[in-house]
Amino acid sequence: MFCIRLTKQFKLLRTRQLHLTSINVKNENKVASETSKTAETSQSTVDKEKVDFVTECMKKFCLGPPMHAVSNIDKRILVWVKRYPSIDQVPDYVSYQCIQHAHTKARIRISFILLFVGILICISAIMSGKREVASGKNIATERLKWYMEVKKKAEEEKQNAEKVQ
């Protein structure tokens, strides 16, 4: 309960700050006389600094949708799912919803690619098996040949051992 009250007060404080900066921006747009232009230019630079500060706070403290700092891999994913046209145009911060949709689309595309590769591997295994059967090779005959070779080698070694003695 106490935490909820604190968060509400903090949100109200931030909205008040935004409201004050928007009033300053509106006042900045009014045309002033030439005598007060020097005083107003110094005040307008201060107002612009306030606006810049508030926009930085908006990015950091998530006023609006929660933002995600984009890494290089995230930029590539966002371009691959055609959310942005190029890597250069991807901003530094993107909403969580945007990055989640991009990751979901990328996962789906990768699963389709892996499914396609798996099907190709299965088809190639079937084709190579059929080729081997057509040439007369199978596991049973290969195993019998291997056992015969092992027996011949064992007999030769036995005969060589008898000759030596």
Residue pair 95/67 in contact (Cβ under 8 Å)? The answer is yes
Q: pLDDT at residue 20 above 60?
A: no
Angle between helices 37-60 and 2-29 (to 10 degrees): 150
145 domain-assigned: yes
pLDDT tens figures, 63-116: 567 888 999 999 999 999 999 999 999 999 998 899 999 999 999 999 999 999
| Residue type present at position 106 | A
Both 129 and 75 in a single domain? yes
For the chain, what is the mean pLDDT?
Answer: 78
What's the rounded Cα separation, in Å, for the pair 35 and 161? Answer: 119
Query: Do residues 88 and 145 both lie within one domain?
Result: no
pLDDT of 165 reads 74
* Domain ranges, residue 72: 64-134
Residue bearing the bigger pLDDT, 122 or 5: 122
Write the CB contacts of 47 (distance below 8 Å, at least 6 apart in sequence).
21, 24, 25, 27, 28
- Give the Cα separation of 13 and 121 in Å (integer): 61
Average pLDDT over residues 39-67: 63
DSSP class of residue 1 equals: -
Question: How many folded domains does the chain comprise?
Answer: 2
Q: Do 96 and 146 sit in the same domain of this protein?
A: no
So what's the pLDDT on residue 83?
A: 92
pTM more than 0.85: no
Residues 99 and 119 in one domain: yes
The confidence score (pLDDT) of residue 66 equals 81
Decide if 142 is inside a domain.
yes
Evaluate if residue 58 carries a pLDDT over 90: no
Same-domain pairing of 128 and 143: no
Place of tokens 């996962």: 107
* 165 secondary structure, DSSP code: -
The DSSP bridge partners found for residue 69 are 93
Predicted confidence at residue 6, as pLDDT, reads: 57
The arithmetic mean of pLDDT across residues 131-149, rounded, is 89
pLDDT attached to residue 48: 67
Residues 108 and 150 in one domain: no
| pLDDT for 24 | 47
